[in-house]
Structure 1
Amino acid sequence: MHSSAAGFEDAPEQRVPVDLAIQGTIPSWLAGVLYRTGPGTYHIPSSTNPSQSIDIQHWFDGLGMNHRFEIHPGSQRVSYSSRKSCEDFESDISKQGKIPMVSFGQQPDICQSIFRKFFTTFQQLASPIQPNDSPSGVNVSVTLSPDMPGWDKIIEGLPSEVKLHDHSGPRYLVAKTDADMLQLLDPLSLEPLASATYKTLDSRLDGQLSAAHSCRDKETDEFYNFSCKLGGRFPTYKVFRINGNGAVDIIAQIKDAPPSYLHSFAMTSKYVILAIWQAHIAGYGLSILYNQNIAQSIEKWKPNVDSLFYVIDKKNGGVIAKYKTPPFFCFHQINAYDDPGKDDIIIDMSVYKDHSVINSLYLDKLRTLSLENPTPIGRPRRFRLASVTTSPSRGKTARDAQVEFTLSPSESIELPTINPSNYHQPYRYAYGVNKSFSPGLEHTFADRIIKLDMQDAEGGGHKFWGVPGYTPSEPVFVPRPDGKAEDDGVVLSVVLDGNQGKSMLIILDAQNMEECARAEMKTVSPINFHGVWSQKRRSSAL
């Protein structure tokens, strides 16, 4: 039986880099580091009762581990290392017998009285729990941003010995999640160096929620995200940017949208688009404190409540248009861009018919996948927001968004990526994980990688790569230096071989989706969330 269950269990660290066995030929031009982040620990022994453990229930709550795959220049060599990112947080769980703060899906003790739950809620309103100020006292392991701006003062306060590295990658990494927590990482050792919040960077960014997937303007190198502060009938979404000098500008405030769990947002060269899909948090957001998790706090699906798009002018600020569409749920945007020659915005997303996918990602289900208990994967959908600047209402009245197409389940995509040169620009190809639903492969989380042709989305010319029993992770596109075609490059994916019980780094030719090489591990690399590629560059000190 092919299974991806081993990818959702505890994994050992590999702090000292080891060389991996190479099969095939690595392209001679490919040199750099693939960083990956995601869960690596699910069972924490109790320090008060060694015979018991605290078991993580939801995939999104697994304790973080970061991974480093270095492809060395001029040789057929790949080295691998990994490190836990939240050892002090793990220690807190071990001592307290529970996750000591709000989680994504960990369900509290069912024996806890209603009175005690209300008492805890009001206690947290009066004195909110703050993240542990230890560098490893927070669990932040969803996305990674190399050299995120705004950290200069924090870096200046670090001990001198951690600022003397001389290497050819990023100066530092910042791990992010969907809450207001950030973690600074050493890009060589993966050691946590500091923890912070967006409020640490600017006191006005005082929301509890943010997007794990920020956006970066490749022309200006400005960093964009939002901060969502819960409370009152409507929350306040503050959409902000951080420039290269660390200065923060709040470019819009939205106060008429429901509180919602938003994992990502969209951006074009002109606009930021905040899509408020239906993952509304009950009780004006306060149910999170009562339930102590996000998953149980999301309202039941309401098929008659529209999802919304807020369009924000990047240059001048402010909401300039608002759109609505029948309800959907989403984790990831694929890409967005301004339609050349028109006053329209194109947004491509991986969408779900409702938010039930959140419950399908509890670990007891992921470890026992079957035909009766599959993991749904989102379907690509293209939205068109027409005539953006001709709206006379400045975003007060919502117009209808147009749906240009929604692809079939066989063309589903999750964890989507594209050539980074085409983010926020017109593009053709997208890569992501896909599920074939082939007989015998029903026990895998995803069993192949898809290459979507978005210019001929309904033409059926998509390409796939997969091997029975293999579970791929998010594919990362690496362009060939001086390559001319959009798909001239390779796709990297860490793949679990469920037959042999070990993982490997797969390198695919991004044009024909054929395997170039693989770097084989001797152990299982846990199925994680997201990664980032860092090209080799000249030495720079942290």
Structure 2
Amino acid sequence: MEHMFDGYGMLLGFDIDGRNNRVTGSRRFVESEAWKHYNETGKMRWREFATPPKYASMWEQLADIGNTLLGTLGLSEAVTDNASVNVVPLQDGSAVAMTETVQGTYRVDLSSLQTLGRVQYRGDKIVGDLTTAHPQPMPNGDLVNLVSTVGVGFHVYRHPAAAFEQRQLIATVPHRRPLAPAWVHDFPATQNYAVIPEMPLYFNVGKLLFGGRSDAVFMDWKPQDRTTLHVVDLRDGSHCSFRAPPCFVFHWANAWESEDGRYLHLDACLYEDPEICNDLYLEPLRADYAPGRVPGRAYLRRATIDLRAADGSEVQGGWQPLVPDDICPPFDFPKVSPLKRGKPYRYVWGASSVRPTSAHNSVGKWDTETGSVQVWHEPGVLVGEPIFVPAPDATAEDEGAVLAVVVEADGGSSLVCLDGATLQEQARARLPWQITIGFHGCFVPAA
């Protein structure tokens, strides 16, 4: 494997028993077809994010190229189903492990971490296999997500709360470049709107099929195209678009509507360009970066869209900083209180970097009202995505706990619990085995 995004998905679970002061940890690979094939043969079945399979002959490569083209259209099983990106809880008590292909969605049991089977969508005509692993939860329990179909556009759809296997099409928004769709890793949404961030980072189909690198892995960076924010009304499927400065975003912190319904506020961890994608190749990570080279940094930014403005108009003010850059450590994996998702909020927690390193070695808390920052840091550690869990009887937005997986300086691993308000460490459960830093997870209260 060549890139941080290429490894096969493993679930990591913790059962926290507060009454008996006990934490039980477990781990298990998602039994995708990609993982099973590699486990049985030692060979890759499909390309992962940045690592292509090794071919025995030119004819084998040509056959794979044809299958991949069909796979991106959802017409064959020829793109990876390695569910390595996110775990999303469902209303029935199970969960789905997801990646950015439709076939890479698997139901999993949250207690045993057993893979229950690939999700098979029923009764819709939504074609395409490029999706996001970040479906957005609605107040009624529904999930909203999108599929990107080469040559067509973005299909925004809804999973009913009681039937994840169903997809109800809401709207289709054409691609700016139909044969080179923009990469969308995550998107913001409120109760009434979903926003498709069409940033100027496009799939280079030739690089994807035949190998080789472009500006960012296999994608082309065209900042002259700027960013288009497509606002889709989830009630009737109507949509309009707004222009903003070029940027790259992995993750959105939150989105909400003004009380009068006129403005839509979008908060994100924003990079100036997609160089961070290249920074996550294993080669530079192992060799350390060249002297003077600074890996990509993301800072907290807000765009405010006037929904009464004309279709195609400019976002006034562009991307506004919420915390001054000179005191804001670079960070990503932003999390707000689940009680504030889709609503006005004050605090956001994330995995941050204490200098001189650019690795996530700390947990940060950003106050969007005062512009202040708090940081928990321990020398030599690596920190995974922090998750804020509000106290059951909380009266303050930051009253609760922050949970984060930590790889310690000696190579050991722990689950760390921090006070949500002060970031003071409250507890630590050291694991009997080593882990690596992963991507996204969730907190599920006991039944």
Q: By the TM > 0.5 criterion, same fold?
A: yes
- Three-state SS of the structure 2 residue aligned to 1:364 is helix
- Counterpart CA distance in 2 for 1:210 and 1:390 is 29
- Counterpart CA distance in 1 for 2:402 and 2:280 is 26
Distance 1:80 1:328, change over 3 A: same
- Three-state SS of the structure 2 residue aligned to 1:266 is coil
- Three-state SS of the structure 2 residue aligned to 1:92 is helix
Q: Tell me the equivalent position of 2:236.
A: 316
Higher gyration radius (CA): 1
1:455 aligns with 2:369: yes
Q: Tell me the equivalent position of 2:317.
A: 402
Note the C-alpha offset of 1:399: 3.2
Distance 1:403 1:455, change over 3 A: farther
- Counterpart CA distance in 2 for 1:400 and 1:536 is 43
Q: Tell me the equivalent position of 2:381.
A: 470
1:186 aligns with 2:96: no
CA RMSD, Structure 1 to Structure 2 (Å): 2.7
Q: Which amino acid aligns with 1:492?
A: L
- Counterpart CA distance in 2 for 1:365 and 1:85 is 28
- Counterpart CA distance in 2 for 1:123 and 1:495 is 40
Distance 1:225 1:292, change over 3 A: farther
Residues 19-44 of structure 1, C-alpha deviation per residue, up to 9 Å, x if partnerless? xxxxxxxxxxxxxxxxxxxxxxxxxx
1:332 aligns with 2:251: yes
Contact 2:275-2:295 at 8 Å conserved across structures: no
Q: Tell me the equivalent position of 1:533.
A: 443
Q: Tell me the equivalent position of 2:158.
A: 241
Contact 2:217-2:278 at 8 Å conserved across structures: no
Q: Tell me the equivalent position of 2:359.
A: 445
Note the C-alpha offset of 1:408: 1.5
- Counterpart CA distance in 1 for 2:144 and 2:38 is 33
Q: Tell me the equivalent position of 1:85.
A: 30
- Counterpart CA distance in 2 for 1:310 and 1:87 is 33
Q: Tell me the equivalent position of 1:165.
A: none
Contact 1:144-1:175 at 8 Å conserved across structures: yes
- Counterpart CA distance in 2 for 1:74 and 1:95 is 42
Note the C-alpha offset of 1:506: 0.6
Q: Which amino acid aligns with 2:170?
A: I
Matched residue count: 433
Q: Which amino acid aligns with 1:379?
A: Y
- Three-state SS of the structure 1 residue aligned to 2:444 is strand
Matches within 5 A, 1:49-448: 56-86=1-31, 89-93=34-38, 98-107=43-52, 109=54, 120-122=64-66, 124-125=68-69, 129-130=76-77, 138-147=81-90, 171-180=93-102, 181-196=104-119, 200-217=121-138, 219-230=139-150, 232=151, 235-246=152-163, 247-258=166-177, 259-282=181-204, 285=205, 288-291=208-211, 296-299=217-220, 301-319=221-239, 321-341=240-260, 343-370=262-289, 372=291, 375-386=295-306, 388-391=307-310, 395=311, 397-403=312-318, 405-406=320-321, 407-408=324-325, 410-438=328-356, 442=357, 445-448=359-362
Note the C-alpha offset of 1:273: 0.8
- Counterpart CA distance in 2 for 1:291 and 1:355 is 19
Contact 1:103-1:293 at 8 Å conserved across structures: no
- Counterpart CA distance in 2 for 1:214 and 1:57 is 27
Gaps spanning 5+ residues in structure 1: where? Answer: 1-55, 149-169, 538-542
1:482 aligns with 2:393: yes
- Counterpart CA distance in 1 for 2:167 and 2:70 is 28
Note the C-alpha offset of 1:369: 3.4
Q: Which amino acid aligns with 1:331?
A: F
Note the C-alpha offset of 1:260: 1.4
- Counterpart CA distance in 1 for 2:131 and 2:32 is 24
- Counterpart CA distance in 1 for 2:302 and 2:155 is 26
**Mean Cα displacement is larger for which, 269-278 or 80-89?**
80-89
- Three-state SS of the structure 2 residue aligned to 1:86 is coil
- Three-state SS of the structure 2 residue aligned to 1:535 is coil
Distance 1:525 1:408, change over 3 A: same
Note the C-alpha offset of 1:390: 4.8
Note the C-alpha offset of 1:340: 2.6
Note the C-alpha offset of 1:225: 0.2
Distance 1:123 1:266, change over 3 A: closer
Contact 1:140-1:176 at 8 Å conserved across structures: yes
Residues 357-386 of structure 1, C-alpha deviation per residue, up to 9 Å, x if partnerless? 111111222334357365433111111112
Q: Which amino acid aligns with 1:490?
A: A
Residues 247-284 of structure 1, C-alpha deviation per residue, up to 9 Å, x if partnerless? 532111011433111110111122111111122113xx
Contact 2:70-2:76 at 8 Å conserved across structures: no
Larger RCO (CA within 8 A; separation ≥ 6)? 1
Residues 483-530 of structure 1, C-alpha deviation per residue, up to 9 Å, x if partnerless? 0110000100011112x2101111100101111111111322210001
Contact 2:350-2:363 at 8 Å conserved across structures: yes
- Counterpart CA distance in 1 for 2:217 and 2:117 is 31
Distance 1:77 1:307, change over 3 A: same
Gaps spanning 5+ residues in structure 2: where? Answer: none
Residues 141-193 of structure 1, C-alpha deviation per residue, up to 9 Å, x if partnerless? 21111116xxxxxxxxxxxxxxxxxxxxx621101111112011111111111
Contact 1:336-1:348 at 8 Å conserved across structures: yes
- Counterpart CA distance in 2 for 1:245 and 1:482 is 28
Distance 1:123 1:274, change over 3 A: closer
Q: Which amino acid aligns with 2:149?
A: K
- Counterpart CA distance in 2 for 1:92 and 1:187 is 24
Distance 1:82 1:94, change over 3 A: closer
- Three-state SS of the structure 1 residue aligned to 2:223 is coil
Contact 1:66-1:85 at 8 Å conserved across structures: yes
Identity within the alignment, %: 25
Q: Which amino acid aligns with 2:390?
A: P
Note the C-alpha offset of 1:58: 1.2
- TM-score of the pair, normalised by structure 1: 0.74
